[in-house]
Amino acid sequence: MSDDRPRPRAFRLDDHRVAVDDARAPLAPMATILTEPEPAPLGDDPALDLAEREVEAAQGAGVAKKPRWSLATVAWVGFGGLVSLAVGLWVDSLIEALFARAQSLGAIAVAFAVLLIVGALGLLIREIVAVARQRRIAELHAALARARAADDREAARALVGRLAALYARRPETARARAEVEEARRAVIDGRDLVDVAERALLKPIDKRVQAEIAAAARRVSMVTAVSPRAILDLLFVAAQVVRLTRRVAELYGGRPGLFGFFALLRSIGAHLAITGGMAVGDSLLQQVVGHGVASRISARLGEGVLNGLLTARVGLSAMAVCRPAPFEVDKPPGVAEVAPFLFRKAKGE
């Protein structure tokens, strides 16, 4: 045995030379885990399963995308700068003109200009924060998947703490957070710890998300079935999808702003595109069969069902992309689970 190892030893706590600091030791410092978002082609980390790699690829295409300077970006920056300058010039001349007409009008115009600047700045900051939050959640997702696959106790401890902190402002998660905190302090392996946190924190949220998806799918299928014009259907479906996506992101803790929302839509689109092939085995068959049966009853009804299915699929993709941890304890829900009413044709929803 080498001699540079510290020797075994013991210290009696009633020894006067021993001071006991009973304060709860802070847990290991938060690990900084840097993850490379993968481009839309799937990553090849052998520790992760296919579904997880798909989700990460989709996140990489949108919410977790690294800002990159492309020619289009350069052009847009140039255009944006010119537009801002033009607006500035116009405001400046407007205020000058107003001052020329009357002192008081000019003062009012200045006040409005200040309001505009403050408001715009606020909006900008909120957008930046929202995008950063979304990216953080996507990174957390990837890091949790890796910590679980590697059964890494220390990383899991830090990450699960971050997961709980995500919901610190929600009083209804108090018990779940306490449970997770207790599990962090106990000696539990990394894999199990991630599972405990997922079960305690995310499962109740999953239920609410599924209810949202079901409600949206139901609304879409019913409205499509009764609406007189195709264009109205389209608008309604689009509005419902937007509303649903925002709601799902909000429930999981990443409230998207405008740009964040566009990134989210890109991710959802990528996820739908990647998993589209899988849907054949999973639910497309049912979709076709369900549609066939339904359309025999009524063409409008069949369209309603199809739109409902579409909404549910988008909702499920949003769920996969926004969730701060991968589905490990339970399988991710399928269309049939969130919207079983779409498949029960006899009742004629």
Partner 1 sequence: MSLFTDLAFEAGVVARSLADYLSGGALRLGVTGLSRSGKTVFITALVDNLVNGGRLPVLRAAAEGRIARVHLEPQPDDAVPRFPYEEHLAAIAGPERRWPASTRRVSQLRVTIEFERASAWGGARAQSLNLDIVDYPGEWLLDLALIDKSYADWSRETIEAARSKARAPLAGDWNAYLAELDPAASADEAVALKAAERFTAYLRRARDATYALSTLPPGRFLMPGDLEGSPALTFAPLPLDGGEIAAGSLAAMMERRYEAYKTHVARPFFRDHFARLDRQIVLVDLLAALNSGPGALADLETALDGVTHAFRAGRASRLGAIFRPRIDRILFAATKADHLHHADHDRLEAALKLMTSRAIARAEGLGAEIDVAALAAVRATREAEIRHNGEALPAIVGTPEEGERIDGQVFDGVAEAAVFPGRLPDDPAAALAGEGLALAEVDNSWRFVRFRPPMTQRGAPPPHIRLDRTLQFLIGDRLT
Q: What is the DSSP letter of 235?
A: H
User: Alpha-carbon distance 214 to 205, whole Å?
Assistant: 14
The yes or no reply on residue 200 touching partner 1 (CB under 8 A) is yes
Tokens read off for 207 = 């239920």
Out of 126, 136, 153, 219, which residue is the one contacting partner 1 (CB under 8 A)? 153
User: Alpha-carbon distance 212 to 216, whole Å?
Assistant: 6
Angle between helices 258-275 and 230-251 (to 10 degrees): 100
User: Alpha-carbon distance 147 to 141, whole Å?
Assistant: 10
- Near partner 1 by CB under 8 A, which window of 92-100, 177-185, 265-273, 291-299? 177-185
Q: What is the DSSP letter of 330?
A: S
Residue window 90-129: x/- pattern of binding to partner 1, with contact defined by CB under 8 A: ----------------------------------------
Please, what is the minimum distance in Å from the beta carbon of residue 25 to partner 1? 7
Tokens read off for 73 = 């970006």
- Under 8 Å between Cβ of 231 and 258: no
Residue window 305-344: x/- pattern of binding to partner 1, with contact defined by CB under 8 A: ------------------------x-------x-------
- Near partner 1 by CB under 8 A, which window of 50-58, 184-192, 217-225, 314-322? 184-192
Closer to partner 1 at the Cβ: 72 or 187?
187
Out of 38, 52, 56, 195, which residue is the one contacting partner 1 (CB under 8 A)? 195
First to last CA, the chain: 75
Out of 192, 250, 282, 349, which residue is the one contacting partner 1 (CB under 8 A)? 192
Out of 75, 186, 234, 278, which residue is the one contacting partner 1 (CB under 8 A)? 186
The yes or no reply on residue 23 touching partner 1 (CB under 8 A) is no
Please, what is the minimum distance in Å from the beta carbon of residue 216 to partner 1? 20
**Which sign does the torsion angle of CA 70, 75, 80, 82 carry?**
positive
- Near partner 1 by CB under 8 A, which window of 6-14, 58-66, 259-267, 276-284? 6-14
- Near partner 1 by CB under 8 A, which window of 49-57, 131-139, 190-198, 276-284? 190-198
Helix (H) or strand (E) holding 156: helix 153-166
Tokens read off for 123 = 């909006």
The yes or no reply on residue 147 touching partner 1 (CB under 8 A) is no
Q: How many residues bind partner 1 (CB under 8 A)?
A: 29
The yes or no reply on residue 10 touching partner 1 (CB under 8 A) is yes
The yes or no reply on residue 26 touching partner 1 (CB under 8 A) is no
Residue 58: how many CB atoms within 10 A of its CB?
A: 28
User: Alpha-carbon distance 329 to 34, whole Å?
Assistant: 25
Q: How far is CA 17 from CA 9, 14, 24, 211, 283, in A?
A: 15, 9, 21, 61, 70
How many residues are present in the chain?
349
- Near partner 1 by CB under 8 A, which window of 127-135, 140-148, 176-184, 312-320? 176-184
User: Alpha-carbon distance 319 to 313, whole Å?
Assistant: 10
- Near partner 1 by CB under 8 A, which window of 65-73, 179-187, 234-242, 287-295? 179-187
Residue bearing tokens 């899991």: 156
- Site of interaction with partner 1 (CB under 8 A): 1-2, 5-14, 18, 25, 153, 179, 182-183, 186-189, 192, 195-196, 199-200, 329, 337
